[in-house]
Amino acid sequence: MAVNYAVRLEGVSKSYGEVSAHRIFESVNIGFRDGEFVALKGPIGSGKTTLLNMVAGFLKPNTGRVIVKGIDIVRMPEKELAVFRAKTFGIVPQTQNLVPELTIAQNIELPLIFQNIPKGDRARRVQEVLQRIGIPKMGNRIVGTLSVGEREIIAIARSIALDPPIMLLDEPTEALDPVMTDMVVAFVKSDHALKKKTIIIATHDDRVVKIAHTIVQVKKRIP
């Protein structure tokens, strides 16, 4: 039976700076199946974030192809890639990218605005997301007043607002206490169980690794 890959990396090499000055990956071949829950595990600086950024198209590999849903995104024009990325990925970066001056609801609404979804639909979807994260009445709180953990939950909630088929999460529990970590883990797990999304999560947190189907060990190259 043919395997349906959500993401495939073929012969991918990546280095920073001058050629081979700081080589992160060399001829990497790996595939993540549709609906698979993958944990990228490895020490800081091993290239987990670089891998996620290449999958999302934020970074281009030096050589090789990155195929997402059957499309090679390395050669895709930037404008087209931005639209493709917004529809295909729910991205939770390592540094939170919420707008602190806006409310929780407005932050969740942002990707919906950018995809030109009508106002009525946006309000409904935002309310659905707020309900899923268990705070249906707190949409009017300003994000700048939230704790780091609460912001992480909102960042994840925003990434699912467009219901993308692939989720990319970069160290979502890094700065969280055990209670907030449990909340994030439960949320990601339930989202995966409900929607059968492909989830690729970079982490060195064993509680997160435990719930993944596949663990990919990313090793640090010694130059």
Partner 1 sequence: MLPMEIVIRGLHMERSQLRLGLIISSMIMVNSTLLVGTISSPARFAVPFLAFVFAGFSQYYLVRQSIERSDRNIRVFKELGASHSLLLQTLLVNVVMVGLLGSVAGFIFGVSALFVMQTTGFTAGLLENALLVFGALAGTTVGSYIGTRETLAGK
Three-state secondary structure call for residue 58: coil
Rounded Cα distance, 143 and 130, in Å: 14
Largest Cα–Cα distance in the chain? 55
Q: Exactly one of 3, 18, 78, 223 binds partner 1 (CB under 8 A); which one?
A: 78
Close Cβ partners of 84 (under 8 Å, ≥ 6 residues apart): 57, 68, 71, 73, 76
86 binds partner 1 per the rule CB under 8 A: yes
> From CA 135, how far away is CA 188, in angstroms rounded?
16
- Binding segment toward partner 1, per CB under 8 A, in 25-33, 81-89, 133-141, 209-217: 81-89
CB of 78 to partner 1, least distance (A): 6
Q: Tell me how far, at minimum, the Cβ of 116 lies from partner 1, in Å.
A: 8
Cα 161 to Cα 3: distance, rounded to the nearest angstrom: 28
Judged by CB under 8 A, the residue of 42, 93, 139, 172 near partner 1 is: 93
Asked if 27 interacts with partner 1 (CB under 8 A), we say no
- Residue 145 touching partner 1 (CB under 8 A): no
Q: How far apart are CA 189 and CA 59, in angstroms?
A: 28
Residues pairing with 169 in the sheet: 92, 201
Q: Does the protein bind partner 1 through residue 85 (CB under 8 A)?
A: yes
Site residues (CB under 8 A) for partner 1, limited to 96-135 = 97-99, 101-102, 106, 110-111, 113-115
Give the binding site for partner 1 (CB under 8 A): 78-79, 82-83, 85-87, 91, 93, 97-99, 101-102, 106, 110-111, 113-115
